[in-house]
Chain A
Amino acid sequence: DTAVSQTPKYLVTQMGNDKSIKCEQNLGHDTMYWYKQDSKKFLKIMFSYNNKELIINETVPNRFSPKSPDKAHLNLHINSLELGDSAVYFCASSRQGLAETQYFGPGTRLLVL
């Protein structure tokens, strides 16, 4: 059973387009996250939701909008894609609380042309 899944795995698109990445977890966790991994493999948190409520928003451009329809899903919608958005995006989930293990999805590799 896949614990944290993301779709699509690869996404190639043109500048200016709007795209979405979906994330689902079947672990019963309350908290979900989006991370961005740049070309130098640096991982940085973007957003976190707890029980469908936004709790972390790390100075990400307004073009990025997370949506959590329920606590098992956290989708990422990106408007007006730019070249610099090319990266690998990871979804993760955890139980609520300090020092809880985060479980990561396989990543979505986004390439903006």
Chain B
Amino acid sequence: AQRVTQPEKLLSVFKGAPVELKCNYSYSGSPELFWYVQYSRQRLQLLLRHISRESIKGFTADLNKGETSFHLKKPFAQEEDSAMYYCALSGSSNTGKLIFGQGTTLQVKP
């Protein structure tokens, strides 16, 4: 079964501290993985996807197939990073269907 697990509902850090939002997935094939973010009063938007291997707003995520993980990291958190973060998986069916994790609220304190 396809599943995405984000074990932390809330992650609270101080400004300047490193951040790691955990994401584990369950999928038998080769998944495409994404991180979407929802800032307060804004719509859900793509933060990054693993095929692009890019860094957006200082965030990076590496796909670890051995550990079936796609953790999101940032070395120095900023207050404006406070938001809800969703890890999502798209399988190989080409339907575009996204399976989302439960979401993690990141709170960056001053």
Question: Footprint of B on A, CB under 8 Å?
Answer: 4, 31, 33, 40-45, 48, 50, 55-56, 90, 92, 94, 96-107
Contacts and interface: CB of A to CB of B under 8 A. Distances in A.
Given A43-B86, A98-B32, A99-B90, A107 B96 contact: no
Given A33-B96, A99-B32, A100-B96, A41 B102 contact: yes
- Nearest 4 CB-CB pairings of A with B: A99-B32, A104-B44, A43-B100, A101-B46
Given A43-B103, A90-B44, A102 B98 contact: yes
A101 B48 CA distance: 9
Given A99-B51, A99-B90, A42 B100 contact: yes
Contacts of B86: 43
Contacts of A41: 84, 102-103
Interface of B: 32, 34, 43-46, 49, 51, 84, 86, 90, 92, 94-100, 102-103
Contacts of A44: 100
Contact of A106 (B34, B43, B94, B95): B43
A107 B99 CA distance: 18
Contacts of A98: 32, 90, 92, 94, 96
Contacts of A100: 96
Contact of A40 (B44, B92, B102): B102
B46 A102 contact: yes
Contact of B95 (A55, A90, A107): A55
